[in-house]
Structure 1
């Protein structure tokens, strides 16, 4: 169920075991995808996955999406909206304070690679004992290489295929897209998973893309979307049914 569509009578009749907060971003996505790509994808994926979970008996509630994310590496791109992590933490604290009066589990459903909620969850966890604040990145739930020939990590074949399936009217012709060619760090370790530095997007890419979208199709997007929703829905079912008094095992 979506909170924004419910009324007080509906709410009083319901008990939810898991509340979900979708969180996206507003940023450039190459030359062919809209600034709201992360929000469009995030919203449809979680609503579909939550519906499947509900059909399986899970009692889950989806909150309205937070549409702005961390874009500190793209502030020189026109109208990219940046929300600082400290602002995110304040918003998250206020939402958690409201949610935890009714439900003891809150999942941040993240659709933007620049968002990182782990340290916030560590800090806020001290304020909410006996509650569980969690996060997940849908774009890491499946191995994209099993679905796409040239997966990247931004406005690539994956995201373009999803948008061609979900919102084809918002996708410009692929012959107008940039090729998503991008520069990597000259310090090799920074291109690996164990070291990290923020990318300055106008220095690494001419079109803000990371990955070639030219082979994207709606058919690929549909297959990926359906499998993704199945995996995520089972995750929601498992979370909703999990007891915080018996959350760990061997």
Structure 2
């Protein structure tokens, strides 16, 4: 039993522990090229949250990891078989209930550990911040860390080298041989401005990629995944410690 994982612990432990930071892993259920499982985002969010919490817990931070949310916003993948979509409005309803529960029970700090690019939580968190002024809600999109490029030859956007390496480390038994994977080639928008980050339209997934992947996974290795997992969990774990200690009434230097 890990006392910082809610799904594993019990009422006896929970009753006696004053948790101060909750971590909510949030993934998606979707195709990841031909070689990775539909649960890739869920596994990444669960494993990164658990290891980060362990690191924080061993430094004295009273962190509790909630069960992962397995469904994400997949509106651009409506025609990909069994990609399960929940709308942003559904996310708001679900997250509102979770935040209300935490606030009522005196756990005022929440970190959403997001593993799916289609989950855009910022507008939701802005709204919840007004509804629950005691709550300090933050978001971790670990896959956007600026140091990722130092661990991989080609990070990739979806089921590429980074995600494949992580899964080869975390769940090797669920990864098909790389010979089975597509090359993750991505078609770019015909209007250049949509590729520059300041204009946006939702990608229609089946028109952008032939194999549901974006990013070449062929150079992925379990060793790369292990090194990166150690790096990102240590980084997040140390941030969790800082969040626990943070005076939310005076968070700026």
After TM superposition, the score normalised by the length of structure 1 is 0.97
Deviation at 1:142, TM superposition (A): 4.3
Residue 178 of structure 1: which of 179, 182, 194 is its match? 182
Contact 1:17 1:241 in 2 (8 A): no
Deviation at 1:166, TM superposition (A): 0.8
Residue 78 of structure 2: which of 75, 78, 87 is its match? 75
Deviation at 1:134, TM superposition (A): 1.6
Counterpart in the other structure of 1:193: 197
Matched, 1:238 2:242: yes
Counterpart in the other structure of 1:207: 211
Instruction: Tell me the distance in 1 between the aligned counterparts of 2:85 and 2:155.
Output: 25
Trace 1:6-155 onto structure 2 (pairs within 5 A): 6-101=9-104, 102-155=106-159
Instruction: Tell me the distance in 2 between the aligned counterparts of 1:185 and 1:94.
Output: 38
Contact 1:179 1:211 in 2 (8 A): yes
Partner SS state of residue 40, structure 1: helix
Partner SS state of residue 27, structure 1: coil
Contact 2:103 2:134 in 1 (8 A): no
Contact 1:163 1:221 in 2 (8 A): yes
Q: After the TM superposition, list the runs of 4 or more consecutive aligned residues in structure 1 that deviate by more than 3 angstroms.
A: none
Partner deviation per Cα, 1:137-168 (whole Å, 9 max, x = no partner): 01122422211112211000000000011110
Instruction: Tell me the distance in 2 between the aligned counterparts of 1:91 and 1:77.
Output: 24
Deviation at 1:133, TM superposition (A): 1.6
Deviation at 1:135, TM superposition (A): 1.1
Deviation at 1:182, TM superposition (A): 0.9
Q: Identify unmatched segments of 5+ residues in structure 1.
A: none
After TM superposition, the score normalised by the length of structure 2 is 0.96
Q: Identify unmatched segments of 5+ residues in structure 2.
A: none
Q: Which moved more, 1:209-218 or 1:190-199?
A: 190-199
RMSD value, Cα: 0.9
Instruction: Tell me the distance in 1 between the aligned counterparts of 2:123 and 2:150.
Output: 31
Partner SS state of residue 166, structure 2: helix
